[in-house]
């Protein structure tokens, strides 16, 4: 009896507790949850959950032990970290078990080539230290690096998943985790044990999971495209309403101008009247560009709406739109509107953070040699190389939480759709310049409007 107790303590202290703590620590940091203030609770969670699982390990068959492990982990996570919502706890659990499964599978394959794997569990303590602790130490060093550099690989993804109203993506990630778990069990059962019937059952489960994940991937793809279209429609309906509001405001201002002009005429203040009319005329011409040739009515409406929004936000919005093909057979106007609208909105958001006199945004379209070049530049802070690398990731945003972080990913998707190219530059006038190059058909007739 004493020998059994000592053997159980040996596994608990040198395997279960270190592995649970280190990989739970990694799961927290991976999703961007800082652990400096959670050390004590994380330790208690590790010790109690490890003791419970080790006590029930011998009493349950292997497959029931896996189910018991999943349920108990979720229960203890809820018990010790009540401030974490359901989605975050699920993400932590998925990350934890994925990391543990990958570690244990690789360790099993490597160690089985060197010694009898049973020696790790039943042999002297030194075997546990020599063959398991190096991997534990490597993960612990990675966690320390994350914590010191405050680098959290999936923090933006967690914010996107937790803020999203739809749970389809979270369900998809859960299915991927279950598929990974099933596949790992199949490999171990089929290649390293003699349970051929169990391996066959797991094989069919893997096939079913592959079909389910594939179907759900297609469904998410379709749903994402529909959501992108819906968001685009909502944005431009909002722009249209903004334009109508601005027109009503201009009408109100016009009536005020007429009243003032009438009053000055009645009082025969001709010099003041001339000066006032010149000011009004200069203000009107400041928001117009009579030399511009807009490529289509849709782009014309978009630019005019954005110009009014820029005026309301006190942003100096310059645009250059020379004569372009009337219809673009290789480039849908709706896609062009989505690209231009998202880039202009992004530039407005960045410029709006600056003092009023520094708010400058420029938008231009040019067609040469069958290629359309779209440029959107804005004043603001320069982007780091890391930001340039991850800013097209869905859900990534540096703005308020109300932003979905889908604008730039939509732009990138459209650019890839047309085999185009997107580059982030900077010049002497603008700190950030998005340059897109898309192929068009030069043989089409040009607009005469």
The whole-angstrom separation of Cα 262 and Cα 440 is 53
pLDDT tens per residue, range 194-228 = 556 666 776 777 777 778 777 777 776 776 666 66
Please answer whether residues 8 and 125 qualify as being in contact, where contact means their C-beta atoms are separated by less than 8 angstroms: no
Confidence check: pLDDT of 448 > 50: no
Residue by residue, DSSP assigns 103-137 as HHHHHHHHHHTTS-THHHHHS-HHHHHHHHHHHHH
Phi and psi for 372 in degrees, rounded to 5? -95, 130
pLDDT tens per residue, range 329-352 = 567 777 788 888 888 888 888 888
116 burial class (0-12, 13-18, 19+ CB within 10 angstroms)?
Answer: exposed
- Residue among 331, 270, 258 at smallest CA distance from 296: 331
pLDDT-based confidence at residue 75 (cuts at 50, 70, 90):
very high
- Residue among 399, 398, 434 at smallest CA distance from 414: 434
pLDDT-based confidence at residue 235 (cuts at 50, 70, 90):
low
Rg, the chain, Cα only = 31
Residue of higher predicted confidence among 14 and 256 = 14
The whole-angstrom separation of Cα 116 and Cα 119 is 6
The whole-angstrom separation of Cα 273 and Cα 335 is 48
Cross-strand partners of 439: 371
pLDDT-based confidence at residue 167 (cuts at 50, 70, 90):
low
């Amino acid at each position: 009896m004493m020998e059994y107790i000592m053997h159980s303590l040996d596994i608990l202290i040198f395997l279960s507790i270190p592995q649970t703590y280190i990989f739970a620590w990694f799961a927290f940091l991976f999703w961007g949850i800082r652990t400096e203030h959670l050390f004590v609770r994380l330790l208690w969670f590790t010790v109690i959950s490890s003791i419970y699982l080790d006590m029930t390990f011998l009493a349950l068959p292997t497959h029931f032990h896996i189910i018991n492990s999943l349920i108990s982990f979720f229960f203890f996570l809820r018990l010790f970290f009540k401030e974490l919502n359901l989605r975050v706890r699920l993400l932590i659990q998925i990350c934890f078990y994925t990391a543990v499964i990958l570690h244990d599978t690789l360790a099993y394959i490597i160690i089985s080539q060197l010694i009898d794997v049973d020696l790790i569990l039943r042999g002297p303590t030194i075997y546990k230290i020599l063959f398991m602790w190096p991997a534990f130490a490597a993960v612990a060093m990675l966690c320390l690096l994350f914590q010191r550099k405050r680098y959290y690989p999936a923090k933006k993804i967690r914010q996107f998943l937790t803020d999203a109203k739809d749970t389809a993506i979270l369900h998809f990630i859960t299915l991927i985790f279950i598929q990974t778990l099933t596949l790992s069990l199949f490999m171990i059962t089929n290649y390293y044990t003699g349970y051929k019937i169990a391996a066959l059952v797991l094989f069919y489960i893997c096939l079913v999971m592959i079909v389910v994940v594939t179907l759900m991937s297609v469904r998410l793809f379709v749903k994402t495209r529909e959501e992108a279209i819906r968001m685009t429609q909502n944005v431009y309906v909002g722009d249209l309403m903004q334009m109508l509001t601005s027109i009503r405001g201009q009408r109100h201002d016009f009536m005020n101008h007429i009243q003032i002009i009438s009053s000055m005429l009645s009082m025969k203040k001709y010099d003041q009247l001339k000066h006032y009319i010149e000011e009004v005329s200069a203000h009107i011409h400041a928001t117009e560009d009579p030399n511009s040739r807009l490529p289509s009515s849709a782009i014309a409406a978009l630019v005019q709406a954005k110009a009014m929004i820029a005026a309301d936000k006190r942003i100096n919005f310059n645009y250059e739109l020379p004569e372009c093909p009337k219809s673009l057979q290789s480039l849908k106007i709706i896609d062009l509107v989505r690209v231009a609208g998202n880039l202009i909105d992004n530039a407005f958001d960045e410029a709006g953070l600056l003092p009023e006199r520094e708010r400058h945004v420029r938008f231009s379209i040019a067609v040469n040699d069958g290629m359309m070049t779209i440029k959107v530049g804005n004043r603001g802070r320069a982007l780091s190389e890391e930001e340039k690398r991850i800013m097209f990731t869905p859900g990534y945003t540096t703005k308020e939480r109300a932003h979905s972080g889908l604008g730039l990913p939509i732009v990138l998707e459209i650019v890839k759709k047309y085999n185009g190219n997107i580059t982030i530059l900077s010049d002497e006038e603008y700190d950030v310049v998005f340059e897109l190059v898309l192929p068009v058909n030069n043989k089409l007739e040009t607009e005469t409007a």
